[in-house]
Amino acid sequence: MESKYFVRKASGLVREFGATDLILIASAMVFGLVFTTTQFPWFYGFNPGANLALSLTIAGIPFVFLMLVYWVIGVIMPRSGSDYVWVSRVFHPSIGFAWSFLYMFAVFITAYVGGLSAFSYALSIAVTMWGLLFQNPGLVTMGNFLSSPIGAFYIAVGFTLLFAVFAIFGVRLIKGLLYISWGAAIWASC
């Protein structure tokens, strides 16, 4: 008889995202700035002659394996809670709690703070470049404001409110935006 990690089968409540959704979500976390077409003028401005699509493809290959590992573990242990469930079932619940606490702190620092810092940096450069290209002093001023600490703070507050709206409207909105943003990113990089 094979050993089981759980006493009963998982309910359908934790299976709202499929394999394709998980791969798109994981790659969105890895390549968060891919989904903003405002970064493309910045990328090509600092890297003349570079191929953005090829660069992202080469950088994304190692992360495909990470995404597949998370998907396989999610299939084997189909419960919400992600790393906590996996670590607590394999090792011990206290180790699972400690790991999840450390993991969520690391995700907050790197993904939220680091991601928003990079996003405000890229957005401010793109807006400033648009202002210079279209001879619009208002856009240049806005780009300078977005590069300031208070501008980055306002972007963070805006993203927090946006994520709250996502949480209120649920999984269907998130899935729709995920597929639309992937299509926009692929279309814009071609």
Q: Which two tokens stand for residue 16?
A: 């709202």
CA distance 40 to 42: 5
For residue 144, tell me if it sits in a domain: yes
Specify if 34 maps to a domain.
Answer: yes
User: What pLDDT, on a 0 to 100 scale, did the predictor assign at position 137?
Assistant: 93
Query: What does the alpha-carbon distance between residue 70 and residue 87 come to, in Å, rounded to a whole number?
Result: 13
Alpha carbon separation from 50 to 47, 85, 88, 189 (Å, rounded) = 6, 42, 45, 12
Nearest to 112 by CA among 158, 180, 150: 158
Q: Roughly how many angstroms between the first and final C-alpha of the chain, as a whole number? A: 52
Please state the length of the chain. Answer: 190
Residue 4, domain member (yes or no): no
Put simply, whether the predicted model's pTM sits higher than 0.85 gets the answer no
Provide the residue range defining the domain that includes 54.
Answer: 16-189
Q: Is residue 48 part of a domain?
A: yes
Residue 1 covered by a domain = no
Give mean pLDDT, residues 23-40.
59
* Rounded-to-integer distance, Cα 21 and Cα 181, Å: 12
Indicate if the pLDDT at residue 109 is higher than 60: yes
Number of domains in the chain: 1
pLDDT in tens, 77-102: 666 666 777 788 888 889 988 888 88
Domain-embedded: residue 73: yes
Residue 142: band (very low, low, confident or very high) from pLDDT cuts 50, 70, 90 = very high
Q: Classify residue 171: in a domain, yes or no.
A: yes
Residue 154 lies in a domain: yes
